[in-house]
Amino acid sequence: MPATIETYPLPSIYMESTFYTVKADHTGIPVISFLTDRDYDYAHFSFSGSTTITITVCEPIDTYAISPLAFEIQGTVDGNKFTFDLHESRYLIVKINKLKELVLIADPLEVSAPPASGQGIYHVVANYRADFTGKTLATSAIQEAINDASSAGGGVVYVPEGVFLIGNLILKSDVTLYLQGGAVLRATDHKEDYTVDFHKDSLNYDGTWLIQTEPNSTNIAITGRGTIDGNGSWLRASQNFVSNLVVPILTSNFTMDGVIGRDAGLWALIPTRSNHVKITNYKGFQSLVDYEDDAIDIVESQHVLVTHTIAISEDDPFSTKTWNEATDIAQNWPGSPQVLENVTFDDCVAWTCCAAFKVGMGVEQAQRNVIFKNSYVYQASRAIAIHHRFGKAPAENITFENIDIEQVIHERNGPFWLHLEIEESGRGIGPVTQVLLKNIKVRDQGRLPSLLRGTDPFRIESVTFDQIYMMGSTKPAASLEEMNIRNMELYVVNDIR
């Protein structure tokens, strides 16, 4: 049966790739050039069934790779064309010759996409006259639609394809913000259009929460195949200003499904002091140049699932954190500090210059029952990390299972594949205990020895290594030395098997 393929128009503010063209079967897929030559291009479509992907490049193809390598997708080359088949939704990174990478986003078809009109639909253009050309601010129109939907007991705020310049938006209970494929909510070029919600001391920049939830809200969703664009590289360079892209804060039952979040300038998607959060089919596209631009940070939240997601960032793409009220970014967060527990990352693809899958550095309140599983590291300086640097609370019952690590090559605080450390920073230290690493395939261990290092009076305790496969070996490593873990102090290993 032929594939069903859905494509999305190229937003007017983005440049097409000069390196790649892409087709799914015979359907052309727009390819967007992301930020700088040091970043990547990306192509996005949705499909069901089976489809043949054809990538055409600007030169004869000598070498290629499709990551995650664990998918074992085979391709064929004919001159400057590269083809392979897809049978299910995949988020892939394609490297051809020495060209910058192509990120291929093959989403599943949308389920239960809302109609553009009808009962409970608040169309921001048809009903509220929001400017879809990107020439004037659409903030008031979109916020009015959100307010009306919430006041009516709930509804869908429908954002059609087009470019919508926004200031700060506040999402309210029982509202779904739906972004049609080709729709872009875009931050402006001017910090004067935003509230100042925090000051980031390490950068000495003011910052804002671009889109946040109303405190004590519930049942909020952001869905669709559109884009939320923080315009972060521009605002950092020209305005000394940054944003958190989406901040579900002091909310419950929050869903984010299908959208692209790009170029936040700082930590992008940060569920904070929230519970029962689900993030799925999300694409976090950040700069590979701008420091402190984490893609997804789960902060002081409970019962969180992040699944079928790709995140690319210079800094940590997937991490968990707990802070206290004195921390710069947290000083204006509503509510009180909370523990973080029952957080799962499943089927995630990470590409970073820093730590791919990480607990910490902030552990001001307890972090417990955190799982990273069935996931993939394309590039990192550290693939797996628990870095307890700020705070006195415990990090406990942390699992890394079924992780495939391809390249540990970047120099920032590395490169080594594993980083388990309690580090004194002047803000107190606390324990790390009950850590399980199971079925880890380490294709690249990094140039430096990995860390397993406590700090007096706390050891890193109860660490179990189960089926760690190093550097192409078909037998699991039987010792720390075989795992290239040599930077060690104050630790307890329960078992290696």
pLDDT digits (tens, 9 = 90+) for 146-158: 999 999 999 999 9
Among 42-46, 189-193, 322-326, which is the least confidently predicted range? 322-326
* Average pLDDT value over all residues in the chain: 97
Q: What is the DSSP letter of 482?
A: T
Strand partners, 85: 52
pLDDT of residue 136: 98
Q: How many CB atoms lie within 10 A of CB 238?
A: 11
Q: Which residues fall within 8 angstroms of residue 268, CB to CB, at 6 or more apart?
A: 230, 244, 245, 246, 261, 284, 286, 293, 294, 295, 296, 313
Region 372-392: what's the mean pLDDT? 98
Q: Dump pLDDT digits (tens) for 459-479.
A: 999 999 999 999 999 999 999
- Distance linking the first and last C-alpha atoms of the chain: 46
Spatial separation of the C-alpha atoms in residues 4 and 2, rounded to whole Å? 7
Closest CA to 378 of 71, 23, 8, 29: 71
- Spell out the SS3 assignment of 137-175: ECHHHHHHHHHHHHHCCCEEEEECCEEEEECCEEECCCE
pLDDT digits over 229-280, tens only? 999 999 999 999 999 999 999 999 999 999 999 999 999 999 999 999 999 9
What are phi and psi for residue 151, nearest 5 degrees?
A: -65, -30
Flag whether 384 is in a domain: no
Q: Is residue 242 part of a domain?
A: no
Q: Say what percent of the chain tops pLDDT 90.
A: 97
- The CA distance from 242 to 380, in Å, is 24
Q: Which of 195, 212, 189 is nearest to 263 (CA)?
A: 189
Bridge partners of 255? 221, 278
Judged against a pLDDT cut of 70, whether residue 1 lies above it is answered with: no
Tally of domains within the chain? 1
User: pLDDT (tens digit, 9 = 90+) per residue, 415-445?
Assistant: 999 999 999 988 899 999 999 999 999 999 9
On whether residue 285 sits in a domain, the answer given is: no
CA atoms within 13 A on the CB side of 84: 19
Mean local confidence (pLDDT), 20-31: 98
- pLDDT, mean of residues 42-62: 97
Question: How far is 39 from 289, CA to CA, in rounded Å?
Answer: 8
In a domain, 28, yes or no: yes
Q: Is position 95 within any domain?
A: yes
Structure tokens at 165: 């310049």
Q: How many Å apart are CA 322 and CA 299, to the nearest integer? A: 6
Lookup: tokens for 24: 């799914």
Give a yes or no: residue 130 inside a domain. no
Distances from the Cα of 14 to the Cαs of 34, 163, 210, 274, in angstroms? 8, 10, 20, 33
pLDDT tens sequence across 166-189: 999 999 999 999 999 999 999 999
Indicate the range of 295-304, 315-324, 422-431 predicted with least confidence: 422-431
Answer yes or no: is pLDDT of 2 > 90: no
pLDDT (0 to 100) of residue 37: 81
Rounded Cα–Cα distance for residues 298 and 250 (Å): 13
Burial zone of 1 (CB within 10 Å; 0-12 exposed, 13-18 middle, 19+ buried): exposed
Domain assignment present for 65 = yes
Rounded CA-CA distance 222/210 in Å is 14
Give the gyration radius of the chain's Cα atoms. Answer: 22
Angstrom distance (rounded) from CA 285 to CA 450:
28
Contact residues for 457 (Cβ-Cβ < 8 A; gap 6+): none
Measured CA to CA, the distance from residue 250 to residue 334 in angstroms comes to 7
Identify the domain containing residue 64 by its residue range. 4-108
Query: Mean per-residue pLDDT for 179-205?
Result: 97
| 21 located within any domain | yes
Determine phi and psi for 265, rounding to 5 degrees.
95, -30
65 Cβ contact list (under 8 Å, min separation 6): 94, 95
The CATH number of the domain holding residue 35 is 2.60.350.10
Q: Is the pTM of this model over 0.85?
A: yes
Q: What is the structure's pLDDT at 38? A: 84
Q: What is the pLDDT of residues 352-374, one digit of tens each?
A: 999 999 999 999 999 999 999 99
